[in-house]
Amino acid sequence: MNPYKSELIGNIELSRQEQQNIIAFLGTLTDQQFLHERALADPIRR
């Protein structure tokens, strides 16, 4: 148990498929091309 977790926060019952759907959705929020774009790698580059 996490001692900092509020008692007001309960568990969410998710099926295995629902868990996989959420993981797949979160994966769509990461733009791999942007993360590896060399031109954007150094914010101070001139």
In a domain, 32, yes or no: yes
Does 4 reside within a domain?
A: no
C-alpha distance from residue 39 to each of 17, 30, 43, 46 (Å): 38, 18, 9, 10
Q: How many domains does the chain have?
A: 1
Q: Is the pTM of this model over 0.75?
A: no
Query: Residue 46: which pLDDT band, with cuts at 50, 70 and 90?
Result: low
What is the tens place of the pLDDT at every residue in 1-36?
789 989 898 889 999 999 999 999 999 998 888 888
Is 1 inside a domain boundary?
no
- Please report whether residue 3 resides in a domain: no
Between CA 41 and CA 34 the distance in angstroms is: 9
> Does residue 24 lie in a domain region?
yes
Look at residue 30 in the predicted model and tell me its pLDDT: 85
The answer as to whether 38 is a domain residue is yes
Q: What are phi and psi of 5, to 5 degrees?
A: -75, 130
Q: Look at residue 23 and tell me if it is in a domain.
A: yes
Residue 4: predicted pLDDT: 92
Range of the domain at 37: 15-46
